[in-house]
Structure 1
Amino acid sequence: MDKDHPGIKFFYLILDLFLLNLAVFIVFQFSPLHDYMDVPRRSLYFLHANISEMIAYLLYGRRNFFFTDKYRDRLRIVSIRFVILIATLFILGEIFLPEGYYRIFLLEYVAFFYFFKVITLYFVYKFHKFRHKKGFSHNRVAILGSNNANQALGEILNNNPILGFKFVGYISDKENYNKEIMLGELNELPELAEKHKINMIFVTNPKYFTIKNTKGLLALCNKTGLRVRYVLMNGYWGGCLHRKLESASFFEMFNPQQIPLDDLTLRIEKRFFDFLFSSAVILFIFSWLFPVLAILIKLNSKGPIFFVQQRTGINNKTFNCIKFRTMTVNSDADTKQATKNDSRITSIGNFLRKYNIDELPQFFNVLLGNMSVVGPRPHMLKHTEQYSALIEYYKVRHFVKPGITGWAQVNGYRGLTDELWKMQKRVEYDMAYLEKWNFLWDIKIIFMTLIGKNAYKNAG
């Protein structure tokens, strides 16, 4: 488990540089000490500040990946780097800044920077604590087996909800087990996952670390749509149960189902793009197109402008997927898929579906974070239940966020799935996307969605 994850470190470095430059700008513009208000070489001071902060960050860039430190511990880390920054500023100032540079100026803006950093850190900490407390970012975890090590691991998860895991219970890999402390047997995993909303399994028993047993366990978990983590103990178990743990350093995890988007840095990259792209679409397209379409939909048939349907998202969690309403209001909307020449589809709805315009409101889903611009298409809950029983790795596509468009869609596999092979092809393309994802592939899919003929094939 990488405590100094590059994605987190990069994010905080960018945040620090933004706050630092803001502090320098404010002091230049509004300082009550006017002697350096008109410094002719301001860009040199900005450059000096940024280089100093990057050096300080390299010298002391400790960051906890799981946000498990208490606020006072994080404040200590920031304060140590603040002292290093001051020392770096004056050392580099003697070397690179003009003779007689304004030392008070350095102290002024670094004080502002420290103030900004402490306040920002407090709100970031509270935000993450709130999300974990409400379960917005929790993985619901079951532990395979109930030996002493597993019970210690269960205690850690119970005592530290801020780790991002909600401990559900133990699953037995034996035929005879204690039903009082066990959820059930491993061969009951699909039913247990559904009943207890489990989306991750922790495994500590070395017998599952062999190739043969790993294949068997992964086959079962992939069919069920569960993520697997092998938990490696590092010798810190002794004496850890008598107190609440504030660090993930008591165990390390290995991911045997590794896909590119398991990398936090890549997820941040994808999420940043999603946020910018969805914001641009909402601001520059949806803002003026919505009133026009809203009037047309209301004039064309009675009912709401939007159609909201529960669909399966990442980690098998359900979310409300938003679309423009393209059908007359009917009781079969959540169970019956649209067919060619479907009498339920309105005239304006037929046009919207043909050119994918009915999907535009899903950019709000992207903005909120329960969808991505590109990913496997989300299906209605009935289809998730139906096809997960027929297609072996159907639920693996839920390892990532669903998308407005996807690799299967731009290759023509969209719309009606009246034959099983059509859904099998969708899953095949979705699996390829998961296993080989890269950012440029997302750009290619967006481009193919806009101009490719296959993106509009089988629309209905």
Structure 2
Amino acid sequence: MFKSGRYSGWLRPISYGIDLFFIHFFAFEFFGTPFPYFNYIVFLTVAWPLLSLRSGFYEIYRFTHLAKIMSLIGRQGVIFVLIVFSFFGFYNELSTSASSIFKYILLVMGCITIVKLGVFFLLKKYRLHLGGNVRKVVIIGLNQKTDLLRKFFTTNPVYGYKLYKTFDLKGPDKVSIEECMDYILEEEIDEVYSSVAEIGNKDLIKLIDFVDNNLKILKFLPDNKEIYSKKLDFTYYGVLPILSLRKIPMDEPFNKFIKRSFDIVLSLLVIIGLLSWLTPLLGLWIKLESKGPVFFKQKRNGLDYKEFYCYKFRSMKPNPMAHLHQIKKGDERVTKVGRIIRKTSIDELPQFINVLKGEMSVVGPRPHMVSHTHMYAERIDKFMVRHFIKPGITGLAQISGFRGEVESESHIINRVKYDIFYLENWSLFLDLKIVFQTIFNALRGEDKAY
């Protein structure tokens, strides 16, 4: 736990202590003497660490991405709100205003966030400039992927990995697994990275036994077999280990609650604050220019491949081919008002009604026309994976340059790749980032918005 090169054994208890200090100190400052301060200390000192273990709030490592940290902070903030209000719900005789409680929560979480990010970035600077908090590593196996790992270690000193050697097990200068193990002991190596493709089963068993008996960390690089490149989920059925092909964060009840709450709040803000007055004005303009309904509805495939009607402001003249042919640049079916609302993405706003109904989400894979979905499902590998989650008004693929007309097969393949990455790596912070980037792109104007 307190081994050379690994300081997380000290950092985690210190982090707990600092966070609990902010929680208790500001509670005394905000709520005064009539407040049952001792009971609050006991309750929070027990509840905060226990729920932090469940949320993974302190599971931050040198390779953790900033987006992951922000997501953990947001999740812990929600948990902290529930903890504090549950305490005041029990002591309902206290005359503490909700605004004071929220101010206290914001101040505490603000201080915790500053300290957490401060420690994260200070450790990076410490590793980069002073060479501290370093882990000694070796790589076993020589191929394209281990070479990429070697370049990562050598070009990213902020992560604190010092590569000592790369062992070749099959080439002209090959070494035995026993020589690798001797070197690891001599140089007091902390972590061993081994290629799955380059090591035989017998040597693999020897290596696993060796690292277990000598308190070393062993990690594997996926070979060229596609299954190893997946984000596999490891669980037990009794004592039998089971690997699942992927773990979808939105399948967890807490994450589902967070995402649905985000969808409801944002859709209500748009419907009440924008669509309530924009719809009559825009509807009149659409009606004056061409005959037909104000709204255009079209069947799309959503969660679990179920069909639903997707709503938009009508931007084209009514035509029988609207459900079959995708819009193209310079399409004659588009009206004058249609060009404006499509360029600014205003035509998509009625889909917030779909979001409120639960058929769509604010962020997710963009739904396709039913005819196109059938076509892509037959032609594009893993296209159907997108339907494990609700479709969205905007998505990671859309802000990454793959929105609008599908011009080639590579376009839809890349769109699917981004959609799968999103469903496997969802976080509230990622949703917020996509929403803000979508708004920025709409204000700036996009070439493919036609």
Give me the TM-score of the superposition, normalised by structure 1.
0.47
Give me the TM-score of the superposition, normalised by structure 2.
0.48
